Amino acid sequence: MNFVGDTIGLACDHTGFELKERIKTLLTERGLKYEDFGAYNTERSDYPDFAHKLGDAIESGRLSMGIALCGTGNGMAVTLNKYPHIRAGLAWNEEIARLVSAHNLSNVLVLPARFITADEALKCVSKYLDTPFEAGRHLERIRAI
């Protein structure tokens, strides 16, 4: 995990609610703290509302990492990447989740709720949290952003 000891921010729209609840269980089982920025049910909602809550918490320095979900993941990623201190990386399998952490030092993992199984989403979260940043040439690239 790149941000050891921190509370993990969680955000989703209605399409990601059920997966977010599963992720909360995984985090609890791993002894990790989280802050849930919504959505809090499956009633239709708009991803920017929740992305901005997570984005503001990270941008202000109150949190340093998060996990976000929406239908394709793209809406959350686009919204969160508007924040200067956020590198949101979209992943839909374990290898991409590993690379989001190892190569991009992403501080937000974004998952596509409509296109990923619960089992694969949990594997992505675990891989993301367990993979250290490799630095080296990847740090140079991040600095170039």
| Catalytic-role residue among 14, 52, 85, 103 | 103
Q: How many CB atoms lie within 10 A of CB 115?
A: 11
- Two tokens, residue 36: 């849930």
User: Between 118-130 and 17-29, two packed helices, what is the crossing angle to 10 degrees?
Assistant: 50
Clarify whether 138 is annotated catalytic. Answer: no
What letter would DSSP give residue 6? P
* 23, 52, 64, 77, 138 from 116: Cα distances, Å: 13, 23, 25, 16, 27
Residues annotated catalytic, as ranges? 103
